[in-house]
Amino acid sequence: MKDLEVETKRGTILEGVLFCQTKNPDTILIMITGIHGNLFTNKFNYNFGQILNKGNIDFIFAQTCDTFEKTKRTNIKTRKEEFVGSFNEDFKNIEEDIEAFIIYAEKNKYKNIYLAGHSLGANKIVYYLSRNHDKRIKKYIILSPTNITYLLNGVTEEEKNIIREYKKTGKDDELIPFELFGWLQCITRTAYDWVFNNILNNVHIEINADFSQINNIEQSGAMLIGTYDRFSFGDPSGFLENINNHTKHPENNKLIFVPQTGQTYQGKQQEVAEILLNLINNWKNEPNKL
C-alpha cells in the first residue's frame, strides 16, 4: 500500500492510495470515493484492497475533490496554493478528476482497467462514462449510488431562497450561512450546483425520471447495494433494479443485494470485498463484452 498523487489537466493534485502487493499485475480496480468518503470514514476500502491484492489485482482508492471538507494544496501548473474540498467542489471538474486516475493506470501498463464508484462516487462514474465512451474501461461497478432527490428533500424553501439570494448578489465564493443537508458547509456556487443544477442527479427511484446518463453508457458491469441502505426511500433493491432497467443492456449487468447492511457495509466489509474479487475474476475469464 502506498500513497498516490495524480495530476489533473488544470493542475490540481488529487490524492489516493494504491494497494499493490501483487506480482506482475495486469488488472486494476479504480474506486472513486463518495463525499467525505476517505479512508478514515470508509475503512471497508482496506478490505477491498487487501482481498483484491491476494487475487493479484491492484486497487486504487481514488479521492476526488470532495473526499475531505477542506485541504490546502499547491497547483502544479500555477504553483499557487489552493483550497480543495467538498466546501467548494466544482462539478464541472468531475470528468478530468476521474480521468487523472485512469491515465495513471494506463501509463502503468494495466491491461484490464475496471472503474467503480461508491456513494456519490457511483453517480460520478455514471456521469463520466455517459460522456466518455472510454474503451480503456472494461466494466463498471456501481456501489450504493446516491439518490440525490432523497438528499434534496431535506433542503427547505427558506434555505433555497438564501442560496438564490447569495447567487443573485454575486456571493459565489462566500460560505452560505447554514450547513446544506444539515452537514455540508459549502460556498454559494457549490450549494447552487447541488440544489439547482445538479449534473449528478442521474439515478432515481422513480420509473419515469431522467435516466439519460445511465442509458448512454456503453459498458456493462455490476451494481451492488446493502438492503439497509437509507438513501432510497426505503426500497434499496427496487432502487437498484430501476437503475438497471434503464441501462442499454440490463441483461448484461449483475445486481447484488447484500443483506443486513447499509451504505458503508457494516459487518459485511469482507463479504463485499470477496464479491468484487469474484466479479473481476469472472470478467477476466469471459470474452470482452460491453
Q: Are 246 and 206 members of one domain?
A: yes
CA-based torsion, 241, 246, 250, 253: positive or negative? negative
CA atoms of 265 and 286, how far apart (whole Å):
28
Q: Are 63 and 186 members of one domain?
A: no
- 69 within domain boundaries: yes
Enclosing domain of residue 171: 148-198
Q: Are 19 and 100 members of one domain?
A: yes
Q: Are 63 and 166 members of one domain?
A: no
Query: What is the count of structural domains for the chain?
Result: 2
Q: Are 266 and 220 members of one domain?
A: yes
- 20 within domain boundaries: yes
- 158 within domain boundaries: yes
Q: Which of 215, 237, 242, 212 is nearest to 224 (CA)?
A: 237
| Low-confidence spans in the chain with pLDDT less than 70 | 287-290
Give residue 288's pLDDT: 57
Helix, strand, coil abundance in the chain, percent, nearest 5: 35, 20, 45
Q: Are 260 and 276 members of one domain?
A: yes
Q: Are 107 and 223 members of one domain?
A: yes
What is the CATH number for 230? 3.40.50.1820
Q: Are 165 and 206 members of one domain?
A: no
pTM for the whole thing?
0.96
- 289 within domain boundaries: no
Instruction: Note the pLDDT tens digit of each residue in 54-67.
Output: 999 999 999 999 99
Q: Which of 168, 198, 228 is the endpoint of a domain?
A: 198
* Helices and strands, number each (H, E), in the chain: 9, 10
Per the structure block, which three cell numbers stand in for 150?
A: 432523497
Q: Are 221 and 192 members of one domain?
A: no
Q: How many CB atoms lie within 10 A of CB 35?
A: 25
Q: Which of 156, 180, 198 is the endpoint of a domain?
A: 198
Q: Are 56 and 111 members of one domain?
A: yes
CA atoms of 220 and 98, how far apart (whole Å):
18
- 27 within domain boundaries: yes
Whose grid coordinates read 448512454? 216
- 290 within domain boundaries: no
Which H/E stretch holds residue 58? strand 58-62
Give residue 39's pLDDT: 87
Q: Which of 198, 233, 259 is the endpoint of a domain?
A: 198
Instruction: Note the pLDDT tens digit of each residue in 190-229.
Output: 999 999 999 999 999 999 999 999 999 999 999 999 999 9
Q: Are 109 and 235 members of one domain?
A: yes
β-pair partners for 74: 81
Q: Are 60 and 115 members of one domain?
A: yes
- 209 within domain boundaries: yes
